[in-house]
């Protein structure tokens, strides 16, 4: 389960990927439509989508010649439950979570167990 959480949190760490997830809250979207509002190449967007798919946050399906993206909100449940265990985060407050991660990543790693 920790590997799945690691993938979800790594995917959520990027603001472009969070924006993509927000867009997919509305409805399924074609990859080209996902890419439209961003000032980056279709290849770069495809890499972001691959990270989201690997984390289970989205699914992708080819319909004819068009590749569609769909939000998979159930995959956020484990991350939400984990964060709620701390009692200091709203279930979907990604900004607060990003600040938390920045603080954690800045802290020195604990020494390994002997």
Q: Where are the domains of the chain?
A: 2-95
CB-based contact 109:17 (threshold 8 Å): no
> Structure tokens of 16?
């472009």
Q: What is the pLDDT of residues 12-34, one digit of tens each?
A: 999 999 999 999 998 999 999 99
CATH of 2-95, one of 3.30.565.60, 3.40.50.970, 2.30.30.190, 1.10.10.10: 1.10.10.10
Model-wide pTM > 0.85: no
pLDDT at 110 over 70: no
């Amino acid at each position: 389960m920790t590997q799945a959480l690691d993938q979800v949190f790594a995917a959520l760490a990027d603001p472009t990927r969070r924006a993509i997830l927000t867009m997919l809250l509305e409805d399924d979207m074609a990859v080209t439509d996902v890419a439209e509002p961003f000032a980056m190449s279709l290849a770069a967007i495809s890499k972001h989508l691959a990270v989201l798919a690997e984390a289970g946050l989205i699914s992708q399906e080819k319909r004819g010649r068009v590749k569609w993206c769909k939000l998979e909100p159930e995959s956020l449940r484990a991350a939400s439950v984990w964060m709620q265990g701390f009692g200091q985060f709203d279930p979907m407050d990604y900004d607060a979570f990003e600040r938390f991660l920045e603080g954690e990543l800045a802290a020195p790693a604990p020494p390994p167990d002997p």
